[in-house]
């Protein structure tokens, strides 16, 4: 029934609709009357419902009371039921435990029965297998062994397990020994059917690993057969083709390996072959080095190393090996040659000494002056090729890791070479009459010959400096890769191979690092020596010796003319005027014949010096050097002449008045010659000439003279004032 408000709303809505949506007084009156009627109807209904509620309330209360009593009864019954169920659960658990104990006993009885059966079966199978071995029925033997393996698992905790294990192992070994030869034959002949049969047998008896061992053994046997023709004395010629054969064999085996032996990985195959090859290679190299004969060991080593390096690096490009395995294989092959890195300096010395022997055979004085000089010039190109070869060998052998040994070997070879040149130079000096011999051969003593020797020394020095820079540049590039930290992409196989030769001693590592640093050091000029210091210093000493040879060739005529000068009797003569009045004027003496020849010789040096200096300037490597100019050489000749002349004068026993005057004229003449050449006259020469021009008791007392000048004048004065004990006359002449 709708509520009062809803009824009013319905009446209002209906009235409005009947009036056409307009509210009027009539409408309101009608609405009120309807509302009153509706209110009375509602009031009567409420009274009716109230009466009915009062009548039924007692009955409802009785029903509620009866329901409460039923719930209490039900709760009691439920508690009783729960208690009964708990008792049933306890009895059930006891029954289940009893059943479990019964099942356990049953299982133990069954297991014991099975073990008894297995023990009896084991004995039977052991006898039957022994009979099968006699008939060589390998498939049945494998089947029985497989079943015995299963039985052994059941018999593991029995007292005789160890003995049964030993019996089973013995059976496996017997079957393995029986099948192994057949499996090897199948592997060698590539018999797929036999391989499958024996592979299954070995797998069934639990010795599948033996398959890989036999396969690898067959590869080792093949390697031995393939290398049977190896002659260690000719290893370098044979090895390259042999390694190609090995590479082809590995490739072929890797292609068929997944089908034939799925359990063996290609990396295991490659590693096994390379390890076996490494052992043989090490043996071959040792034998080769001990039986090399006249062939330099280093040449043989380099040929074998290059072939081995190329071979092992080729595997880095194959997908069979991981990066770590590649590193291991490369280092393993490199380890064959690393022991020789410590001997590299010795081996390089032997090689260089052998190459220098051809130079020594040609650079001999007995061949004549021109032939010897031609041989020396030829030796420079030979020496350049020799040094380039040594550098190339160092890089090829260990990527420059033996740079310190290379420097020692090159210094040793250059020292030997320069010592040989110096020994020949000593013979040249004797032949030229520079070392005591009066009789000289003109070819050896000529200025042209001496300058050619000097040009040789300069070319050698320049060539050595250029090679020094080449060494640093080449070794720096190679060593930078060896000593650098590994990049994220990894190192190249060649770098890994070379790094195996890098020494571990800090001093040697420091030396190699210094080689890299020096080439990048801006404080040094490009031509400065920083690698072969000892050789360049020796070469500089050789150049000084050659300069001395040039000087001696220029002074040869001076020495000839001054020979025996202190003993000439002309120096002890007096003239009449000296006893009358020392202040009377005297006429100047004419210069002696020896001094005029010396003067002519000094003037005569100009033309040959100009020719030789012109030839020097045509050399591509000659630096601008004022010490090599015409005036420089004339300065040396003039100064040397003055020194030799004064030395001879000081050795005179006694100078008479006439002798002093003659000597003064000679010194004045040579001073004029030196001055005419454009050379400053040595002060000591002028000082002695002035002292000889005056009387003996009026020696120069000029203040400000140095101690050496005073001592020189003192010796001249002593010669002139010596008691008149004349020396024995000499056969030499003054004019």
pLDDT tens across 529-561, in order?
Answer: 578 888 888 898 999 999 999 999 998 889 889
What does the pLDDT look like over 665-678, one tens digit per residue? 999 999 999 999 99
Q: Is 573 in contact with 652 (CB distance < 8 Å)?
A: no
CA distance 535 to 414: 6
Mean of the per-residue pLDDT values of the chain: 78
DSSP 655-714: --HHHHHHHHHHHHHHHHHHHHTT-PPPHHHHHHHHHHHS-GGG----TT--HHHHHHHH
Q: Which of 81-90, 271-280, 367-376, 392-401 has the lowest mean pLDDT?
A: 81-90
- Lowest-confidence pick of 47-51, 195-199, 451-455, 492-496: 195-199
Alpha-carbon span 423 to 449, nearest angstrom? 17
Q: Is the pLDDT at 597 greater than 90, yes or no?
A: yes
Highest-scoring range by mean pLDDT, 11-15, 260-264, 567-571, 672-676: 672-676
pLDDT band at 582 (very low <50, low <70, confident <90, very high): very low
503/55 Cα distance (integer angstroms): 120
How would residue 374 be classed by pLDDT, with cut points 50, 70 and 90? very high
pLDDT tens-digit series, residues 383-418: 999 999 999 999 999 888 898 899 999 999 999 999
Q: Which helix (H) or strand (E) holds 522?
A: none
Q: What is the C-alpha to C-alpha distance for residues 269 and 222, in angstroms, rounded to an integer?
A: 13
The whole-angstrom separation of Cα 158 and Cα 160 is: 6
Residue 378, pLDDT above cutoff 90: yes
Tokens representing 530 are 């920083």
By mean pLDDT, which of 63-67, 95-99, 160-164 is the weakest?
160-164
- Report CA 37 to chain centroid distance, whole Å: 123
Distance CA 27, CA 4 (A): 20
3-state percent breakdown (helix, strand, coil) of the chain, nearest 5 = 80, 0, 20
For residue 576, pLDDT beyond 70: no
User: Residue 605: phi, psi to the nearest 5?
Assistant: -70, -20
Contact 205, 172 (CB under 8 A): yes
* pLDDT value of residue 527: 47
Three-state secondary-structure class, residue 36? helix
In this predicted structure, the answer to whether residue 499 has a pLDDT above a threshold of 90 is no
What is the Cα–Cα distance from 18 to 27, expressed in whole angstroms? Answer: 9
Predicted pLDDT of residue 138: 64
| Residues near 193 by beta carbon (within 8 Å), at least 6 away in sequence | none
Q: CA nearest 322: which of 274, 268, 261, 279?
A: 268
Q: How confident is the model at residue 423 (pLDDT cuts 50, 70, 90)?
A: very high
Question: Would you list the DSSP string of 677-693?
Answer: TT-PPPHHHHHHHHHHH
Instruction: State residue 623's pLDDT score.
Output: 55
In whole angstroms, what is the distance from residue 205 CA to residue 144 CA?
9
How close are the terminal C-alpha atoms of the chain, in Å?
Answer: 179
Confidence of residue 526 (pLDDT cuts 50, 70, 90): very low
- What does pTM read for this prediction? 0.68
Q: What percent of the chain has pLDDT over 70?
A: 73
Q: What mean pLDDT is predicted for residues 46-66? A: 78
Orientation of helix 606-617 relative to helix 630-650, angle to 10°: 140
Give 705-718 pLDDT, tens digit per residue: 788 888 888 888 88
Q: Quick one: which of 201, 96, 90, 59 has its CA closest to 142? A: 201
């Amino acid at each position: 029934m709708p509520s009062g408000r809803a009824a009013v709303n319905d009446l209002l809505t209906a009235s409005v609709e009947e009036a056409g949506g307009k509210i009027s007084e009539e409408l309101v009156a009608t609405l009120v009357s309807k509302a009153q009627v509706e209110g009375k109807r509602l009031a009567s209904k409420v009274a009716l419902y109230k009466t009915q509620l009062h009548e039924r309330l007692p009955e409802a209360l009785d029903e509620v009371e009866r329901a409460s009593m039923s719930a209490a009864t039900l709760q009691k019954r439920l508690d009783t039921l729960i208690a009964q169920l708990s008792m049933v659960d306890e009895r059930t658990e006891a029954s289940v435990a009893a059943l479990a104990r019964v099942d356990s006993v049953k299982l133990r009885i069954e297991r014991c029965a099975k073990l008894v059966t297995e023990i009896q079966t084991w004995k039977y199978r052991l006898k039957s297998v022994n009979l099968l071995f006699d008939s060589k029925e390998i498939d049945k033997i494998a089947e029985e062994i497989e079943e015995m393996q299963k039985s052994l698992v059941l018999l593991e905790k029995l007292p005789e397990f160890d003995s049964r294990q030993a019996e089973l192992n013995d059976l496996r070994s017997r079957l393995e020994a029986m099948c192994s030869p057949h499996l090897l034959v199948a592997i060698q002949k590539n018999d797929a059917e036999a391989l499958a049969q024996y592979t299954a047998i070995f797998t069934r008896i639990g010795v599948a690993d033996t398959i890989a061992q036999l396969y690898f053994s067959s590869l080792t046997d093949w390697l031995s057969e393939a290398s049977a023709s190896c002659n260690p004395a000719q290893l370098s010629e044979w090895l390259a083709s042999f390694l190609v054969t090995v590479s082809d064999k590995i490739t072929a085996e890797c292609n068929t390996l997944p089908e034939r032996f799925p359990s063996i990985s290609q990396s295991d195959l490659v590693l096994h072959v390379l390890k076996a090859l490494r052992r043989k290679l090490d043996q071959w190299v040792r034998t080769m080095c001990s039986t090399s004969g006249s062939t330099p060991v280093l040449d043989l080593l380099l040929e074998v190393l290059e072939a081995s390096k190329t071979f092992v690096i080729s595997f880095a490009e194959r997908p069979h090996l991981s990066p770590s395995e590649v590193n291991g294989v490369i280092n393993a092959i490199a380890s064959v040659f690393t022991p020789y890195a410590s001997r590299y300096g010795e081996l390089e010395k032997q090689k260089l000494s052998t190459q220098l022997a051809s130079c020594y055979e040609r650079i001999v004085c007995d061949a004549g002056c021109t032939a010897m000089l031609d041989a020396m010039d030829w030796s420079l190109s030979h020496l350049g090729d020799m040094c380039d070869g040594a550098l190339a060998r160092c890089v090829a052998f260990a990527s420059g890791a033996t740079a310190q040994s290379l420097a020692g070997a090159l210094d040793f070879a250059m020292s030997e070479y320069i010592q040989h040149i110096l020994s020949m130079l000593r013979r040249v000096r004797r032949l030229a009459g520079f070392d005591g011999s009066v009789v000289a051969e003109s070819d050896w003593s000529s200025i042209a010959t001496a300058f050619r020797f000097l040009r040789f020394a300069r070319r050698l020095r320049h060539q050595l400096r250029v090679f020094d820079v080449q060494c640093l540049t080449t070794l720096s590039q190679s060593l930078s890769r060896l000593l650098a930290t590994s990049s994220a992409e990894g190192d190249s196989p060649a770098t890994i191979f070379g790094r195996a030769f890098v020494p571990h001693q800090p001093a040697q590592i420091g030396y190699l690092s210094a080689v890299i640093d020096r080439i990048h050091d801006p404080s040094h000029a490009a031509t400065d020596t920083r690698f072969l210091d000892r050789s360049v210093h020796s070469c500089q000493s050789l150049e000084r010796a050659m300069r001395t040879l040039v000087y001696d060739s220029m002074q040869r005529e001076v020495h000839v003319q001054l020979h025996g000068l202190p003993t000439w009797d002309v120096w002890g003569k007096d003239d009449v005027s000296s006893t009358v009045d020392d202040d009377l004027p005297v006429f100047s003496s004419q210069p002696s014949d020896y001094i005029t020849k010396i003067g002519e010789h000094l003037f005569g040096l100009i033309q040959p010096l100009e020719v030789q200096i012109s030839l020097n300037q045509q050399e591509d490597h000659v630096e601008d050097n004022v010490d090599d100019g015409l005036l420089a050489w004339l300065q040396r000749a003039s100064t040397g002449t003055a020194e030799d002349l004064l030395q001879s004068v000081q050795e005179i026993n006694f100078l008479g008045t006439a002798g002093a005057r003659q000597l003064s004229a000679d010194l004045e003449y040579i001073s004029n010659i030196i001055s005419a050449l454009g050379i400053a006259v040595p002060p000591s020469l002028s000082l002695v000439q002035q002292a000889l021009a005056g009387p003996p008791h009026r020696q120069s007392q000029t203040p400000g003279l140095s101690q050496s000048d005073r001592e020189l004048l003192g010796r001249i004065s002593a010669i002139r004032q010596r008691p008149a004990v004349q020396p024995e006359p000499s056969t030499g002449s003054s004019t």
